[in-house]
Structure 1
Amino acid sequence: MPASLPNPIPTKPLGTNGPIVPAMAVGLMSLGGAYGPGGDDATRLAFLDAMYSIGARHWDDADIYGDSEELVGKWFTTNPEKRKDVFLTTKFGFTGPSDAMVLKSDPAYVKEACARSLEKLKSDYIDLYYCHRVDGKTPIEETIKAMVELKNQGKIKHIGLSEVTASTIRRAHAVHPITALQIEYSPWALDIESVTSSGGNDEEVSILDTCKDLGIAVVAYSPLGRGFLTGTIKSPADVAGDWRAMLPRFSAQNFDKNFDLVKKIEEIAHKKGVTPSQLVLAFLMKEWDGVHPLFGTKSVDRAKENLAALSVDVTDEEVKAVRQACDDCVITGGRYPDGATVLMMGETPELK
């Protein structure tokens, strides 16, 4: 029996003491044109209408996702009474032209970026504000203190981090509770489960276990491998024209090797009677209840397909099968282009 869209969309806490939100988040990066043209305003606003109407009201944005913040601002302007029903997140940290991006997470920039996003969003507040990336220069404590000021002013309600190490998470959490960590997590990106030094002592711990220990939600971005794990991308030519063409895992020399994992996931999904996307999303949520998958699309049908994973119950045997597939397939190529390690699991200097 194919998975069906649950009605209503299930909700759960975002972290141990966090707000109650839809169990899956909708990313707006595609609407901003990251994977080819996002579409005209009428089409994109209709997508937001559809997400609202089916209860998919955890919307994830960022100030570098094209004009997506302005788009949300137009939607709120047209639907002011619905603002309170949407759990809206956005992010700061990237600045400069698209071909020469630099990272900034110093206190002054935190406040400047927040003011700019609020203006674009046509909102008095942001439900969850993420530090998209750390700049490697500003101690995380200073960044978080600036975000706490914004919270005390009512401009943001919750504080989040993205792509940082376990030690950075702990240092940030010591200043103010972190509600969510946004980080890549999927069958072909299991890095957050790897044990690494937490910093400051000899303890060895994974990012995932750190979040479990502190009660921080994991908002898993690219849970479908930027579309790769859906099985709809059959060759590197299918991503020509968008930024995925720059990613090593989509390159001609790596594609076929990585596609072996897709084939195995397709086999397991077919046996269960669900789509590969639904299997992967259900698998991630089964791994820990604190995982909130964040999928991106501009297709209402694709969004509904993904959200239907909330109706899928994967068994322990199916989890083992997916794990075995991950173990059997050696993923080749990095998550980001060579030389872009600054975009992954960032660290900051100690506070002096």
Structure 2
Amino acid sequence: MEVNVPRVKLGSQGLEVSKQGLGCMGMSASYGQRKPEAEMIQLIHHAINSGVTFLDTSDAYGPHTNEILIGKALKGGMREKVQIASKFGITHKDGKMDIHGEPEYVRASCEASLKRLDIDCIDLYYVHRIDTRVPIEVTMGELKKLVEEGKIKYVGLSEASVSTIRRAHAVHPITAVQNEWSLWSRDLEEELVPTCRELGIGIVPYSPLGRGFFSLGPKLIQNLPQGDYRKLFPRFSAENLETNKVVYEKISEIATRKGCTPSQLALAWVHHQGDDVCPIPGTTKIDNINENIGALEVKLTPEEMTQLSALADLVKGERHVVMENTWMHSNTPPLSSWKVDT
């Protein structure tokens, strides 16, 4: 059955995207070996032709190769059909992650991403992680200049605290905040979501399928390829998996009653959080794109939403390997602390 993917306004500055996006990270990085380029281009084209036009990438994916892949996929008239989100701020050296928000780094990253994507303007440009050494006003000041120069259209933040969001938004309107949000990652609901709604900021949940766990359950962990960094995630460790598989089993039971798949049910739960929510499930398989689009047709009653939401209480383990780089630890120093060389 063909599903019509609706369009939604993301934030209050005018960005319009498909109600469901496509996370592109796994095509190039993190989840095992890089996938064959021709197959991934075919997959991206299938997503776009199916109505999923909001493509999410970052200069950190690969690094760099994911943006190059998307640039190639958009040749031949595809650029006009899509909204491209990319990110900057994460670097890796000697196996360690570092985060940068200095103005010169912001500008250099944007210009490099534009070249790799082979486009004139990035639709939505996120601060991928918050540099806690640099006042957010300084980072945002450079992003505001890039908007004024036409190199980016809209600005987003990823894993930013409430304080950081408010301070950033005061410099230049934030269009979207990207955070992990799923049936088992709920830490943003008490503070972050109400703040975004107060300020008119859209919410883009990443890993809405629990990094694939809600698709396959424990089988996912058994079949992870060499180099897949999900093997490091606390929720997938042997001591936590025994408990967490119960969550998957309960989701599967409800999905069977609903006549949908577990992943469709989990994704539908995210969609039901509001019209200002646009999840970006990632995949490298066309069948999964079709399945994810089908989640838009799954309607949940208030009772079912409550039943599903209660499953979070059963989950064991932190949601991320590096919790210090999540929104709870992303406040930045005051602007008065920033020294500018003259």
TM range (shorter): over 0.9
Deviations 1:146-192 (A, max 9, x none): 10100111000000000011111111111111000000001110000
Once the two structures are overlaid, the 10-residue window that deviates more, 47-56 or 150-159, is 47-56
Match of 1:350 in 2: 334
Match of 2:268 in 1: 282
The alpha carbon displacement at 1:344 in A equals: 4.1
Kept in 1: contact 2:160–2:326 (CA 8 A): no
Tell me the TM-score normalized by structure 1.
0.91
- What is the rounded CA distance, in whole Å, between the counterparts of 2:147 and 2:139 in structure 1? 13
Match of 1:19 in 2: 15
Query: Structure 1: which amino acid aligns with 2:15?
Result: P
Match of 1:333 in 2: 317
Tell me the TM-score normalized by structure 2.
0.93
SS in 2 for 1:269: helix
Match of 1:134 in 2: 130
The alpha carbon displacement at 1:28 in A equals: 0.5
Q: How does 1:294-313 map to 2 (within 5 A)?
A: 294-313=280-299
Cα 1:110–1:259 shift into 2, 3 Å: same
The reply on whether 1:112 has 2:108 as its aligned counterpart is yes
Once the two structures are overlaid, the 10-residue window that deviates more, 48-57 or 85-94, is 48-57
- What is the rounded CA distance, in whole Å, between the counterparts of 2:14 and 2:264 in structure 1? 26
The reply on whether 1:6 has 2:38 as its aligned counterpart is no
Cα 1:232–1:325 shift into 2, 3 Å: closer
SS in 2 for 1:33: coil
Aligned length in residues:
332
The reply on whether 1:220 has 2:202 as its aligned counterpart is no
Match of 1:167 in 2: 163
Match of 2:43 in 1: 47
Match of 1:154 in 2: 150
Match of 1:256 in 2: 242
Match of 1:266 in 2: 252
Kept in 2: contact 1:5–1:311 (CA 8 A): no
The alpha carbon displacement at 1:18 in A equals: 3.2
- What is the rounded CA distance, in whole Å, between the counterparts of 1:98 and 1:218 in structure 2? 33
The alpha carbon displacement at 1:234 in A equals: 2.4
Query: Structure 1: which amino acid aligns with 2:335?
Result: L
- What is the rounded CA distance, in whole Å, between the counterparts of 1:290 and 1:314 in structure 2? 17
The alpha carbon displacement at 1:236 in A equals: 3.5
Kept in 2: contact 1:31–1:44 (CA 8 A): yes
- What is the rounded CA distance, in whole Å, between the counterparts of 1:48 and 1:149 in structure 2? 31
Match of 1:246 in 2: 232
Identity %: 41
Q: 2:140 aligns with which of 130, 144, 154?
A: 144
CA RMSD of aligned residues (A): 1.5
Q: 2:31 aligns with which of 30, 35, 38?
A: 35
Kept in 2: contact 1:247–1:335 (CA 8 A): yes
SS in 1 for 2:170: helix
Match of 2:339 in 1: none
Cα 1:87–1:235 shift into 2, 3 Å: closer
Query: Structure 1: which amino acid aligns with 2:206?
Result: Y
Kept in 1: contact 2:60–2:90 (CA 8 A): yes
- What is the rounded CA distance, in whole Å, between the counterparts of 1:229 and 1:50 in structure 2? 23
The alpha carbon displacement at 1:348 in A equals: 0.9
Kept in 2: contact 1:103–1:133 (CA 8 A): yes
Query: Structure 1: which amino acid aligns with 2:210?
Result: G
Gaps of 5+ in 1: 195-205
Structure 1 runs of 4+ aligned residues shifted over 3 Å read none
- What is the rounded CA distance, in whole Å, between the counterparts of 2:193 and 2:94 in structure 1? 31
Cα 1:60–1:98 shift into 2, 3 Å: farther
- What is the rounded CA distance, in whole Å, between the counterparts of 1:148 and 1:325 in structure 2? 41
Query: Structure 2: which amino acid aligns with 1:70?
Result: I
The alpha carbon displacement at 1:238 in A equals: 2.5
- What is the rounded CA distance, in whole Å, between the counterparts of 1:18 and 1:239 in structure 2? 40
